[in-house]
Structure 1
Amino acid sequence: MQDFPELVEGNEGKLGLNMFYHSLKLPFSFITVSSYAKQLIVENNPTAKVTIAHPGIDLNIFRPRKANSQNQKKRIMVILRGSRVKGDEVALEVLRNVNKKVPIHVVFVGGKSLVRHYSKTIGFDFEYSVFSNVSDEVLAKLYSSSDVFLHTSYAESFGLPPLEAMACGTPVVMTDNKGSRDYAIDGFNALISQPGDVKSLSDNLLKVIQDDKLRERMIENGLETAKKFTWAKTVENFEKALKEIN
């Protein structure tokens, strides 16, 4: 189980959300992706057997790379998804705020039509580039070439991108989206704000951009964190759960 209420309701409406909660009450053994997802299950099914198998990182791909950018502006990477729960508009407002104080270059990963839509409806006063339909290899290079990764989701079942960024040696500014609590620690490997808190996110982004010692500490701690989330560990937990069921 890797869904969560905000995602289900956004995709399937109230009826789908009702079905989601009913499914959690079925007499199943569950394998899920995070402590938050486990909590959702147990709240609806207190006697359920639940095993956590976190998503993993391929550390052969998601690793620090040498940056080749000649741009002197700070590079902020953002993944745009086009749904409210992902907090796209929050991220864009944060970027506008920060650019007023420190000129930035934004690396958007997302559909070009979506970026054009936001450019027309919200307006960008910062320099940016767009990358669409990227492979994991390209994604890892984009993380590594960025000075900060900004992640503004309202909710996630786990939230893999910030962990991928950490594995690439990129500091993370993000929201407490619940699913990421299994790896994201405020002030240790990320700076974390409440969902929708534009001021706090803007302040945290500026801190990372302007404080080299903070950046270095977050990079080091992020790399150590990412090493704990391998696919081998995921498979081990998954196989353990299947053996216990049998």
Structure 2
Amino acid sequence: MKLVIPVLSLETGGTRFIYQLANEMVDKGHSVEIVLPENAVVAWPLRAQITRVKELSPDAIPPADFILPNFYPTVFPAWESKKGRVVRLSLGFEPLWVAEKEKALASYLINAPIISISEWHRQLILQGTGRNSTVIPGGVDSTVFCPYTKKSLSTGRLTIGYILRSKEHGYTWKGSEDFWQACQNLAELVPGFDIQVVAPEGANYHAPLPYEIVKAHADSEMARFYAQTDIFVSTSYFEAFSMPPLEAMACGTAVVTTDNGGNRDYTKNGENCFLVPPSDIQQLTLILAHLLTQPNTRNQLAEVGRHFAQSWTWRNSADKLETLLLQLART
């Protein structure tokens, strides 16, 4: 099959879905072409063909068996091009958070099949549009995201890891203030822990506690960040899938995450992670205190999470995508 995926950019974050699926589909023998604007960032090591164009107009879309636009502005040129069958890949239900809500909603109402990335995400789209979708979940590359030696073994101080995405950069749903408040409360209960953060946009938060910024531009660096911490925390209010907790599990780190909807397909509270309600700072504080002071619980949570993550592969995701497209090709 020839697949064309028009994108605005391939920066960090949710575009990992595109990068991973594109590479896996290439490895499965399909032709994949990523089309994006001239100056767009490509942060991932793609094995697919990359074509740069002046703008993502209908004329700039190459012919294909299937065209998979993902973000709402890419849907309309793909649809208007009539260069191949459009399958609308949704990495998040945009009407919830973009300014152009009506245009974003319209991108779901064209007569094209829709791919969602979690059961919760599917329900969101169904409630918002009346249209069903096929769930193709994310995965984790466990050859990259794997355990390393914990930093605490040499420092004697346990480390909490966090990905800092601030409101100043538009990430109003990540709950960073909740994280810092919980850490401030935690320091009164269990003093003597360290905090390490990765700040993809270079955010420099005026936090109530000292913390270390870790630079992690490549997957191998991100994996080492996850693996060297003892506890990884995610505080998002909602996510379509939420990959960081799954990646941290694969790295053998105990995970505490909010119940953000998109992670329900892979989180099992008390087994492979601890789940807390979004914005429940008190419960987050108490669970972190419990994990900091109970090494057996922390280690067991990390070990179960690591084994669980092994089955969540990108090849499985690509297999599901291939099955869907082959079914569509027969109709």
- Give TM-score scaled by structure 1 length: 0.88
Q: Distance in 2 between matches of 1:156 and 1:75?
A: 25
- In structure 1, the residue corresponding to 2:173 is in which secondary structure? helix
1:101 corresponds, among 180, 189, 211, to: 189
Q: CA deviation at 1:4?
A: 2.8
Determine the structure 2 residue equivalent to 1:242. 325
Q: Distance in 2 between matches of 1:202 and 1:151?
A: 13
| Residue type of the alignment partner of 2:312 | F
User: Per residue, is there more helix in 1 or in 2?
Assistant: 1
Determine the structure 1 residue equivalent to 2:21. none
- In structure 1, the residue corresponding to 2:297 is in which secondary structure? helix
Q: Distance in 1 between matches of 2:111 and 2:103?
A: 15
Q: Specify every segment of 5 or more residues in structure 1 that has no aligned partner in the other structure, as ranges.
A: none
Determine the structure 2 residue equivalent to 1:145. 228
Determine the structure 2 residue equivalent to 1:3. 92
**Greater gyration radius:** 2
- Tell me the C-alpha RMSD between the 2 structures: 1.8
Determine the structure 1 residue equivalent to 2:172. 84
Which stretch of the first structure deviates more once superposed, 60-69 or 28-37? 60-69
Q: Distance in 2 between matches of 1:172 and 1:204?
A: 11
Q: Distance in 2 between matches of 1:96 and 1:196?
A: 15
Deviations 1:181-206 (A, max 9, x none): 01011111111111111101111111
- In structure 2, the residue corresponding to 1:149 is in which secondary structure? strand
Q: Distance in 2 between matches of 1:104 and 1:241?
A: 47
Q: CA deviation at 1:111?
A: 5.1
Which stretch of the first structure deviates more once superposed, 157-166 or 35-44? 35-44
| Residue type of the alignment partner of 1:81 | R
Higher RCO structure, 1 or 2 (CA under 8 Å, sep 6+): 1
- In structure 2, the residue corresponding to 1:143 is in which secondary structure? helix
Which stretch of the first structure deviates more once superposed, 61-70 or 101-110? 61-70
Q: Distance in 1 between matches of 2:216 and 2:273?
A: 27
1:214 corresponds, among 287, 290, 297, to: 297
Alignment length (residue pairs): 234
Determine the structure 1 residue equivalent to 2:269. 186
Q: Distance in 1 between matches of 2:201 and 2:172?
A: 18
Q: CA deviation at 1:55?
A: 1.3
- Give TM-score scaled by structure 2 length: 0.67
Q: CA deviation at 1:9?
A: 4.6
Q: Specify every segment of 5 or more residues in structure 2 that has no aligned partner in the other structure, as ranges.
A: 1-89
